[in-house]
Amino acid sequence: MNELAQSIITLLVGSAVFIVGMNMMSGGLKKVTGKGLKRLIKSTQNKGVACLGMGAAVTALIQSSAATSVMAIGFVSAGIMTIYQAVCIAMGAYIGTTVTGVLASLSSFPISKFFVLLAFVGVVLMFFKKELVRNIGEICCGLGLLFFGLATMHDAIHGELLEGIQNLFAAVKFPLLLLLIGCLFTALVQSSSATAGIAIVLLGQGAITMESGFYIVIGGTVGTLITTIIATIGGNADTKRFAVSVIILRTISALIGVAIVWSIEALGNNALSNLFISMPTTPEFALALFLVLYNVIFVALEFPVLKPTVKLVEKIVKDKEQEKAASAIKYIDDRLLNTPEVALMQAKKEIYHMLELSYVNYVNGYERIMNIDRNKDKELNELEDQIDYINKRLSDYLIALSNKVSLADEKIVGSYFHVINDVERIGDHAYNFYESSLKMNENDLEFSDMAKGEMAQMDDVLRKMFDMTLHIFRYKDFTQLKALHKLEDETDKLKSSLSAKHFDRITKNQCKNELTPFYSTLISELERVADHLVNIAYSIQNPVGDAEEDK
């Protein structure tokens, strides 16, 4: 094997060890910090500066801006965090991730040769039983491997390989092309820290100039966005808005940063490079310092425009699912609030419409779990979104209306709050049927014909209750309340008898025991749907929909 091939293999192995060490250190840090970091991030509320600081601190601890961003995406997706808050945390993460570059630059100091011993210390600690000690061992081992990888790369770059890299970067001097190289390499390894580390090693060996190092590490700040993009695939509109906001901000920052460096270098006869080279430290540490300053300065410059950027992106990136859900609103309109009597009448119509949708989804969910009918899956999910959206809009509408109606109508408005809560819960139960069906599919489970026949009795009673509740609520028909209540009593009895029959089949080996949690959950949810229907009907005489008075 010739010298060049051996050097290339050693460089690749060194790069691999460096990345493995960095990931191991990051993994250990995440285990040590654990859920406390998530609670810390969630506690920042909507304060921009606090979020920036939190993003920087968390990333400095776990050594992964990608992990911090993915964590923020998860919170945005769950509705725990606003887009603005997540963007601030992501911006702070860019500052925190520069710590890895600083660590990598320490390899240029003589003392760094002893840092590789941390790998041995870490391995020893990983044999301890205590989890905290093992996690600390993982951190030490990762840190040691990081420095060993850097040393290996450093030793690999000499002779023909060094000359080849020098010739390559002598030919590739165009700043935007170097920016693209840094961006693509980071996207490939999904780590801007890895790009910074390799650039620092190349600079230390004289394979690249300080100016080229500037452009490559700036490119790395853009390439790391690939992890954010991947994490938002299949996400909701808010996660996509977060990704677009961060992409816009970091791409513009990188282009402006390159333009400024390029201009200073061209007009000032390499003034910026010379400034950093002349610092009383190693060139490697100087490049790491440049990356820190670049991120701190541009995050500070970006901060005032974060909120306007997020608002702009919210207008550009439409929430198609929300638009579909919004189309479900048929009767309420905020302009009607100026005529409270009409607004109250329209609110009742919208609630009735919401109840109709929940009835349709109840049927869809029941048929899905009974017959594994996938034909209505799309409709079921869309209706669930519509029911949730109507619930939110009606809540806001009723809050606004409550300040405008008479004292008598105030009680009606209060009862409607309880009604929409019950209707929304019915929709949730219908969606639970769908989710249970998916789990049954995964485990290749299906209810027996006997079980289906028994549950059909309960379903038949519930459909009668739906029809009766719709009629009672719409026409305020007090005469049917007791009949509805009797049907609800019937569902209670059916729940007990069906449960007993199921366990009897289990003891006789006529049914799979694995079906028990699904069967028990289903009949319990069917019984709860009946309770909600009774509450809705009784709301016409009692604001809280409590039927106790008529029992």
- Summarize pLDDT for 474-488 with one digit per residue, the tens: 999 999 999 999 999
- Domains of the chain from N-terminus onward: 3-318 (no CATH), 326-550 (1.20.58.220)
- Percent of the chain predicted with pLDDT > 90: 28
DSSP sequence for 512-539: -GGGHHHHHHHHHHHHHHHHHHHHHHHT
Are the C-beta atoms of 86 and 58 separated by less than 8 Å? Answer: no
Report the share of the chain in percent with pLDDT over 70. Answer: 83
**Do 354 and 360 form a contact (C-beta atoms < 8 A)?**
no
pLDDT (tens digit per residue) in 194-241 = 788 888 888 887 888 899 889 999 998 888 888 778 767 766 788 888
What are the pLDDT digits (tens) for 422-474? 999 999 999 999 999 988 888 888 888 888 888 999 999 999 999 999 999 99
pLDDT at 203: 85
CA–CA separation, 4 and 164 (whole Å): 9
Q: Report d(CA 401, CA 410) in Å as an integer.
A: 9
pLDDT grade for 334, boundaries at 50, 70 and 90: confident
C-alpha span between 447 and 372 (Å, rounded): 10
Closest CA to 96 of 301, 300, 304, 295: 295
Mean pLDDT of the chain: 83
| Spatial distance between the Cα atoms of 383 and 79, rounded to a whole number of angstroms | 20
Report residue 44 as tokens: 């920042």
Q: Is 121 helix (H, G, I), strand (E, B) or coil?
A: helix
Does the structure show a pLDDT above 70 at 166?
no
The residue among 360, 363, 417, 367 whose CA lies nearest residue 386 is 360
Q: Exposed (0-12), middle (13-18) or buried (19+): which is 20, by Cβ within 10 Å?
A: middle
Is pLDDT at 150 greater than 70 in this prediction?
no
